[in-house]
Amino acid sequence: MLEPNDYKVADLSLAEAGRHQIRLAEHEMPGLMALREEYAEEQPLRGARIAGSLHMTVQTAVLIETLTALGAEVRWASCNIFSTQDEAAAAVVVGQGTPERPEGVPVFAWKNETLPEYWWATRQILTWPGADENPDAGPNMILDDGGDATLLVHKGVEFEAAGTVPADPEEGDEDYSYEYTVILAALRESLAENPQRFTRLAERIQGVTEETTTGVHRLYQLAEEGKLLFPAINVNDSVTKSKFDNKYGIRHSLPDGLNRATDVLIGGKVAFVAGYGDVGKGAAEALRGQGARVIVSEVDPICALQAVMDGYQVARLEDVVEDADIFITTTGNKDVIRAEHMLRMKNKAIVGNVGHFDNEIDMASLAKTEGVRKVEIKPQVHEWVLGEGTDNERSIIVLSEGRLLNLGNATGHPSFVMSNSFANQTIAQIELFTKHGRTTAGGSPEYANQVYVLPKILDEKVARLHLDALGVRLTELSKAQAAYIGVDAAGPYKPDHYRY
Amino acid sequence: MLEPNDYKVADLSLAEAGRHQIRLAEHEMPGLMALREEYAEEQPLRGARIAGSLHMTVQTAVLIETLTALGAEVRWASCNIFSTQDEAAAAVVVGQGTPERPEGVPVFAWKNETLPEYWWATRQILTWPGADENPDAGPNMILDDGGDATLLVHKGVEFEAAGTVPADPEEGDEDYSYEYTVILAALRESLAENPQRFTRLAERIQGVTEETTTGVHRLYQLAEEGKLLFPAINVNDSVTKSKFDNKYGIRHSLPDGLNRATDVLIGGKVAFVAGYGDVGKGAAEALRGQGARVIVSEVDPICALQAVMDGYQVARLEDVVEDADIFITTTGNKDVIRAEHMLRMKNKAIVGNVGHFDNEIDMASLAKTEGVRKVEIKPQVHEWVLGEGTDNERSIIVLSEGRLLNLGNATGHPSFVMSNSFANQTIAQIELFTKHGRTTAGGSPEYANQVYVLPKILDEKVARLHLDALGVRLTELSKAQAAYIGVDAAGPYKPDHYRY
Amino acid sequence: MLEPNDYKVADLSLAEAGRHQIRLAEHEMPGLMALREEYAEEQPLRGARIAGSLHMTVQTAVLIETLTALGAEVRWASCNIFSTQDEAAAAVVVGQGTPERPEGVPVFAWKNETLPEYWWATRQILTWPGADENPDAGPNMILDDGGDATLLVHKGVEFEAAGTVPADPEEGDEDYSYEYTVILAALRESLAENPQRFTRLAERIQGVTEETTTGVHRLYQLAEEGKLLFPAINVNDSVTKSKFDNKYGIRHSLPDGLNRATDVLIGGKVAFVAGYGDVGKGAAEALRGQGARVIVSEVDPICALQAVMDGYQVARLEDVVEDADIFITTTGNKDVIRAEHMLRMKNKAIVGNVGHFDNEIDMASLAKTEGVRKVEIKPQVHEWVLGEGTDNERSIIVLSEGRLLNLGNATGHPSFVMSNSFANQTIAQIELFTKHGRTTAGGSPEYANQVYVLPKILDEKVARLHLDALGVRLTELSKAQAAYIGVDAAGPYKPDHYRY
Amino acid sequence: MLEPNDYKVADLSLAEAGRHQIRLAEHEMPGLMALREEYAEEQPLRGARIAGSLHMTVQTAVLIETLTALGAEVRWASCNIFSTQDEAAAAVVVGQGTPERPEGVPVFAWKNETLPEYWWATRQILTWPGADENPDAGPNMILDDGGDATLLVHKGVEFEAAGTVPADPEEGDEDYSYEYTVILAALRESLAENPQRFTRLAERIQGVTEETTTGVHRLYQLAEEGKLLFPAINVNDSVTKSKFDNKYGIRHSLPDGLNRATDVLIGGKVAFVAGYGDVGKGAAEALRGQGARVIVSEVDPICALQAVMDGYQVARLEDVVEDADIFITTTGNKDVIRAEHMLRMKNKAIVGNVGHFDNEIDMASLAKTEGVRKVEIKPQVHEWVLGEGTDNERSIIVLSEGRLLNLGNATGHPSFVMSNSFANQTIAQIELFTKHGRTTAGGSPEYANQVYVLPKILDEKVARLHLDALGVRLTELSKAQAAYIGVDAAGPYKPDHYRY
């Protein structure tokens, strides 16, 4: 059922364009489509009311429609103010338009939200019609990316217990951020409407599934402090998430971003890749595959040894900063490329980030450097003129202002990669919803208020769901062979510590 | 000097955007910039009046401004009705705006011309102000891509000799094409204005340089028939053109085109590449570098053996058409992928061409097939629904309507690759202009009305001009070493038949 | 001290040849050499009396001399009847011949031992001069590869407690093997000499370090049953062992073995690799690097998905057995290539194993097949004629009789790879000897009678010791960066479950 | 027919071992075996009496038996004093032992000949029984590798015309070499026996086919000077020779040689490759495929640009000589690695040559350097101690004394590669024998006393003969397609200057 008043993007022509793209994406998301088929009859999510907070893209549309195909009711917001693809949102709101599936799903997301709009939207996915009167009509599952929905619930419960929302911190206070004041304002409004809304809601949440490093980190902290209010599944550390999303996704989307942003031939260039974790491995492979010579930097001696054995030069940035043409950060740490480095780079060197945090490249200190000027070449591509007017005047090209260039300059991971991540999300939702420890859904109490990873057999299942589309025929173990290596013929095939 | 009346794109804000891009492209075109520096004083093209017909892109702007920096006067048109980048054209018209270089160059090109506009523009580059009165004020050099400027001159001379332009052929006649009638109309207009224009002009042309297979083919035919009116240099067969443009250019621009057109992860897919010439070699390397499994088809047993030795499966299209996810043609032949093949492809298979002619994929017969429907997903990306309503309903995705996808879905070859091709063009212009066989410029008559390739030493020079930018330091032969292998220490280093 | 009577290989010219090779190997074993330097003064193994059971090769000689350089006394036997390199053994026995290091080490190993000789040798490393009288003069550490020294101690203790060694099982009994009867005979002899020898010895053993999957498996079983008599460190699962030894070692030694065994060009061939674990990954990379087209088979869907994403075809053996030219097993399972497969292979197909067990290729059933004849081409290379006299007569080439071809047809892993494994062994010896739970060496009781893996910080240390030799300069985390990602700036850098 | 008196290696057990290897090699030489089949009936070499001078290896045995299978009579010598594989020679002498093919071929070659023995053997292949009496019983074709047989004939004719063999030059004379005095002695003996032997013989030679750069160079010189006595086909410049032998052969045999010579892990090392021609391309690819980081040096800017575009660093040796672990020369020039370089290398650096001439590495000046000592590690592997007794004492490892390491440390190119070269030889023999310009065989006089390359259609044929064995199915051009690109549907498919 379409709710036009609370949603801006229900535009039928947009929706039609989005539906085309969703249809093509379905083909590239065989994991989700296989789950739809497998569970078509069983409807394991019947009764699930899922509050979803995750980039509202074409791929997410396929996820949402998979969840509803398995019986769930869903409300959705994006987890990033920029990342919504409006045509995807519109198509989801309008629904699939078939006789069997006439209805759409309420989506509260549009491209370029303000922060107050963003947190309003996040509240909407947790505020279900009628739930103030009947808490059992509210959400009972959270699907999270970055942990914002989970954060809102935990803060809401905390402040409701205190009876009040604290005053805004001042600028300069340690816990001050503009965004935090927006969250506090949203909760003040909520407490005014219903002073027990989040408390009751949290009691009924049967679990959250979370797919980012950051979100997972928050969950482990809450669990350690004994404050986690419901079970959580860490989808981020599934092999089919971490090894595939990070390595193969970046291998695809890094050159895509570079190519759309610039006119630079990657072949023959020297490319510097900071970090040789999974993201760095994918980045280095992509650049080498295009004929670049890749130099890697590493902190971890084991990853450094892997890089050398894979044929890459391993050096410190400061030792090669004058030699490279392209600089890519993949570390997840901060201040990896600093102003001092950028000032020594070649004229027209390209600097970009596919790590995680937008402080990997220390743009702030570059901006403060004397004699620096920023020129927009096109959106998400800026030339920074250095040492203007000196003998050493030069410029460098910074992509996406130091934020993730594969998102900012291209379209992020392709559908096939997301199919792996989202199949993990879907299976984790089924797992928690059908086996949680709350009484409302009658499941057996297998999960406590802790953080879990998916059992390896389910991780293997996610992989299995993608093999047909790639033309793979798996070999089957005979009983004797399975016994010989001490596993079940149906898997799991490896000990938990296996490194792949 | 800006001539706003005969040129549509002299728009100052466009020109500014174009100038930014030209400035960045200059950095990626070290061959051209090195030529500017080398010949800054000598001005070898002083006195040259060049009529240029070549895609009016940002890279071509750098070529044009290199020619003028070497002393030439230039008039320019595009060689394709779609390929002009209007901001590049505008920037060239407006000029570089510096005190030393205030003036621009007349450009007769804009995106999406009609055929009559196209041939009007081609006439403008050959019709110099005052040349009807004083033929020595007309063009004395042609720089060609595809041979249209050369064609117009040869046809003009032929019809001026006959005293009349023949009547249009009828549809159905062997020599009929709509474009030919447009050319005839343009020449009728010219003969009416000046019945000896092309005759006098051709007498003063000191040579043409041509960079395409097609244009070169026409030139060899004219030379064989004894009809070539001036010397020609075949730039297409320079090693630094054919091996670099074809192989390394495609390695870059094929995945770029695929990524911009679709959301498909190349990794893990089966890609079929028709042809293993230089273009096919670049295509296969690019796809493998992204993790695809590549199957090659070949007609030539030597190229087939190379493909196998490089680790690719070599098969016929009809034997693997049901297995591949992505189909790329690179052959330069026609009817390579036919309707009978497309009807057997997997659902959502992707079909694209980076060969040369838009009939490599036989779109015409697909369009005529019963039960076929074409849906535009976005410009240059079409879904063709096959067998609609049958049990076997499927669709395939065709890129750029079967035309070159690296141009249609991406931006063609990057500047660095074009720097190689254009440095060949510039050197060939200097060679012909300074050593031609006409009296007007006093050169020694080294070139007859034949087709030449650049001497290997100049081919090596083009390569040499690009090495500094890539951080290469060449080894130098000692005299004893040079003598030992029977070459000059300064090159050329290889016999003409060397294959690289 | 040389003991010529109990050791066959103390031959001075052999020793000299061995010393040359040891000297070259030292250069390729920077991990061990760095440990010698780091601990030259501290002498952490002073007081350690190590019984070592590990292939007596040139690389092991460098390990032995590292242990003694750190202060240990050592006695050594091989862990395989075939693997001793006599020149290495001789050189170790004779010693380094320098004034500082005049003495050798007792080695009880020679190429091609009988099983009684083998177990005699294993007894010698546990039977130290004077230890029957003074148990404190016996060994206090075991360094094991495959667990035979550990087995002998545990069986000895068991039978000494029972007061007798049981009678030999009969052929056909479940626990019968010829080798077991040899072990029983050895222990009968020992109990006759000293009925408490192993009991007293075991009380003084401060730990064992073990590097094979098989040996580790036995240790975990003993620990689970509560029967493990001393602490154990599982060196096999260090990242610097498993990821390096398996992947990079095989990448090197597989083509080496193929090339020495046959005259077959790998380029252009179709190679089938069973298994895509670390060994399979290394094998596939090596074969692709030589221009083969590689087809992988897998049981595990996650590894299968990795193989596809890496660009390999994944299929079942039975579906491609007629297409491949080279078949390599890497699984560690049994009956992976069976007679039914071999009978369908191409004429002159090559079959080899780099997995672990010699039953991966079911040679036994091939030998029993009718119409089969085996021809020795050269040692370790056999042609098996199939269907002799029929229309379908063919032959296949089997390497090393189905045993590890990189050992049988080449020389196994190169020194650099072993330097990683042996640095783990050495560090594990130091760890257990200096921090064990026994009183004799005064260490703090940090280790119980369980199986441990090396702490990640020591795994990182092993990697670190190899980086200098490869010209790597590691980046260092600032304090702020370390804090930001929640690690110590000196490592360890990753959580235990990190997959590399 | 076996001639035991003039041939040392007719040993039946050797012959049996050789026959095994020949049988396996036949499988890897599908080009030769296909020629046997194609021409089994036609017998195009019936009447040909071929004097062959080419390394007497297992692969050459397959060539010899192909020539005889096509009807030729053959006498054979090796073209190198070290390269004979005695078991191959023995097997050829003894023959195939089947009822259909009972007889062997006279072979005059054994491993480790002296120079007088070598030139005696070369005389034997030109001195056929009864030919002194009846010159038509002598050889009428030469198959050459390096040109020694051709040289002997030309010198013989020259001296016979002069009536005498000149006196030996003195040491120090420009034309002095020890080998030349051996040749003069051999010819003196011949003139004494028959003063017109070579003159009559040369009149009947219908042509020579030659496969080395050196031999071809001599032939072109003779032709230019008008001294070439019979037509010659340059097999060396067939694409299927130069591109395959050089690139794919070296890719295989370089790592094979390194691995057999040393225990050094190639992975992770820095490898320097001098030259990026076909041999250098194969070398670099092989080393990268094993995980080395490769640095290339080049003189030719075009090849340098190719190397950079392929992702390699290009530098001068003197700039990186302290960084590399492995040095490989591939240039075909002299003094590429000099003593001054070797003295600056890392301790235990490895130096080897796969180019052509044994002076690529200037061993002579190294040997003369003060403080240098040479230690044999094993045959063909020497340690050179540098700066002995100084603070900077080091050593480097030189393979095969600077000669071709793929021959010296391994077994040269594998059979499959040689099948390409030898199929060219065989086809060239047929071409010259059946279409020569002499009257004796009645052929049409298509060939003059010049040097020819094989027509492209025959080059394509050689490739075609190898495709079945690799599972390739070629695509066929339709008539319309062939017409469209202006070729015959059966080939040749490319212009002569095409570079592949």
What are the pLDDT tens digits along chain D (500 aa)?
334 334 555 678 889 889 999 999 999 999 999 999 999 999 999 999 999 999 999 999 999 999 999 999 999 999 999 889 999 999 999 888 665 565 789 999 998 899 999 999 999 999 999 999 999 999 999 999 999 999 999 999 999 999 999 999 998 898 899 999 999 999 999 999 999 999 999 999 999 999 998 899 999 999 999 999 999 999 999 999 989 999 999 999 999 999 999 999 999 999 999 999 999 999 999 999 999 999 999 999 999 999 999 999 999 999 999 999 999 999 999 999 999 999 999 999 999 999 987 899 999 999 999 989 999 999 999 999 999 989 989 999 999 999 999 999 999 899 999 999 999 999 999 999 998 756 444 445 689 999 999 999 999 999 999 999 999 999 999 999 999 999 999 999 999 999 99
Residue B154 three-state SS: helix
Write the pLDDT tens digit of every residue in A413-467: 999 999 999 999 999 999 999 987 564 444 456 899 999 999 999 999 999 999 9
- Number of Cβ within 10 Å of residue B203's Cβ equals 15
Would you call C288 an interface residue with chain B, using a CB distance cutoff of 8 Å?
A: yes
Q: Looking at residue B280, what is its pLDDT?
A: 98
Write the pLDDT tens digit of every residue in C150-176: 999 999 999 999 999 999 999 889 889
Tell me the mean pLDDT in the region B363-375: 94
Dist CA D144 CA C56 (whole Å):
49
Closest CB to C485: pick one of A297, A333, A476. A333
Cβ atoms of B294 and B288 within 8 Å: the answer is yes
Q: Looking at residue B357, what is its pLDDT?
A: 76
Q: Looking at residue C442, what is its pLDDT?
A: 42
Nearest chain D alpha carbon to A289 = D311
Would you call B309 an interface residue with chain C, using a CB distance cutoff of 8 Å?
A: yes
C19, pLDDT greater than 80: yes
Is B325 annotated to bind ligand?
no
B68, pLDDT greater than 90: yes
- Arithmetic mean of pLDDT over chain C: 93
Contact B291 C311 (CB under 8 A): yes
Write the pLDDT tens digit of every residue in C218-273: 999 999 999 999 999 999 999 999 899 999 999 999 999 999 999 999 999 999 99
The nearest CA of chain D is from the CA of B499 a distance in Å of 4
Nearest chain D alpha carbon to A307 = D268
Contact B291 A58 (CB under 8 A): no
Element (H, E) at A283: helix A278-289
Rg over CA atoms, chain C: 24
A384, pLDDT greater than 90: yes
Percentage of the residues of chain C whose pLDDT score is greater than 70: 95
Please give the structure tokens belonging to residue D152.
Answer: 């002997």
Q: Looking at residue C96, what is its pLDDT?
A: 80
* Strands (E) located in D132-269: 141-144, 208-210, 232-234
Report whether the peptide linkage leading into residue C414 is cis, meaning its omega lies within 30 degrees of zero: no
Is D282 annotated to bind ligand?
yes
Dist CA B269 CA B287 (whole Å):
9
Q: Which residues of D139-178 are buried (b: 16+ CB within 10 A; e: fewer)?
A: bbbbbbbbbbbbbbbbbbbbbbeeeebeeeeeeeeeeeee
Cβ atoms of D119 and D145 within 8 Å: the answer is no
Cβ atoms of C110 and C89 within 8 Å: the answer is yes
Q: Can you tell me which residue has the tokens 């043609």?
A: B329
Contact B310 C292 (CB under 8 A): no
Write the pLDDT tens digit of every residue in C211-225: 998 899 999 999 999
Percentage of the residues of chain D whose pLDDT score is greater than 90: 87
- Arithmetic mean of pLDDT over chain A: 93
* Touching chains, B (3+ CB pairs < 8 A): A, C, D
B8, pLDDT greater than 70: no
Would you call D493 an interface residue with chain B, using a CB distance cutoff of 8 Å?
A: yes
Contacts of residue A351, defined as CB under 8 A and 6 or more positions apart, other chains included, come to A327, A337, A342, A345, A361, A396, A397, A398, A399, A402
Rg over CA atoms, chain B: 24
Q: Which of A364, A349, A398, A406 is nearest to A378 (CA)?
A: A398
Which string of DSSP letters, residue by residue, matches A438-464? -STT-------SSEEEPPHHHHHHHHH
What is the edge-to-edge ordering of all strands in the sheet holding C381-386? C313-314, C293-297, C270-274, C326-329, C350-353, C394-399, C381-386, C373-378
What is the edge-to-edge ordering of all strands in the sheet holding C49-53? C107-108, C73-77, C49-53, C141-144, C208-210, C232-234, C451-453
Tell me the mean pLDDT in the region A248-276: 97
Please give the structure tokens belonging to residue A311.
Answer: 């044929």
Tell me the mean pLDDT in the region C458-487: 96
Dihedral over alpha carbons C13, C16, C22, C27 (to 10 degrees): -150
Tell me the mean pLDDT in the region C442-458: 84
Contact B243 D306 (CB under 8 A): yes
| Helix axis angle, C415-435 to C58-69, nearest 10° | 30
Would you call A412 an interface residue with chain B, using a CB distance cutoff of 8 Å?
A: no
Dist CA B433 CA B429 (whole Å):
6
Tell me the mean pLDDT in the region B7-19: 76
Cβ atoms of D322 and D343 within 8 Å: the answer is no
Closest CB to B474: pick one of D299, D464, D496. D299
Tell me the mean pLDDT in the region B192-211: 96
Contact B259 A262 (CB under 8 A): no
What values do phi and psi take at D415, rounded to 5? -55, -40
- Number of Cβ within 10 Å of residue C409's Cβ equals 24
Beta bridge partners of residue C327, listed in sequence order? C272, C351
**What's the Cα-to-Cα distance from D354 to each of A174, D252, D253, rounded to whole Å?**
67, 12, 9
Bin D419: left if φ > 0, else alpha if -120 < ψ < 50, else beta.
alpha
Q: Which of D140, D60, D124, D1 is nearest to D439 (CA)?
A: D140
Mutation for B interface: C265, C276, C308, most B CBs within 10 A: C308
What values do phi and psi take at D27, rounded to 5? -65, -30
A289, pLDDT greater than 80: yes
A374, pLDDT greater than 70: yes
Dist CA B13 CA B9 (whole Å):
10
Alpha helical stretches, state H, C262-391: 278-289, 301-309, 317-320, 339-342, 363-368
Write the pLDDT tens digit of every residue in B400-458: 999 999 999 999 899 999 999 999 999 999 999 998 756 444 445 689 999 999 999 99
A236, pLDDT greater than 90: yes
Element (H, E) at B217: helix B213-224
Contact D240 B470 (CB under 8 A): no
Handedness of CA B381, B386, B389, B393 (dihedral sign): negative
A117, pLDDT greater than 70: yes
Would you call B298 an interface residue with chain D, using a CB distance cutoff of 8 Å?
A: yes
Alpha helical stretches, state H, B128-196: 148-162, 178-193
Contacts of residue A98, defined as CB under 8 A and 6 or more positions apart, other chains included, come to none
| Helix axis angle, A12-27 to A86-94, nearest 10° | 100
Would you call C368 an interface residue with chain D, using a CB distance cutoff of 8 Å?
A: no
Please give the structure tokens belonging to residue B365.
Answer: 């017969």
Dist CA D374 CA D115 (whole Å):
26
Dihedral over alpha carbons C465, C466, C468, C471 (to 10 degrees): -160
Residue C229 three-state SS: coil
Cα end-to-end span (Å), chain B:
45
Write the pLDDT tens digit of every residue in B301-345: 999 999 999 999 999 999 999 999 999 999 999 999 999 999 999
Nearest chain C alpha carbon to D244 = C267
Q: Which of C222, C228, C223, C164 is nearest to C202 (CA)?
A: C228
C98, pLDDT greater than 70: no
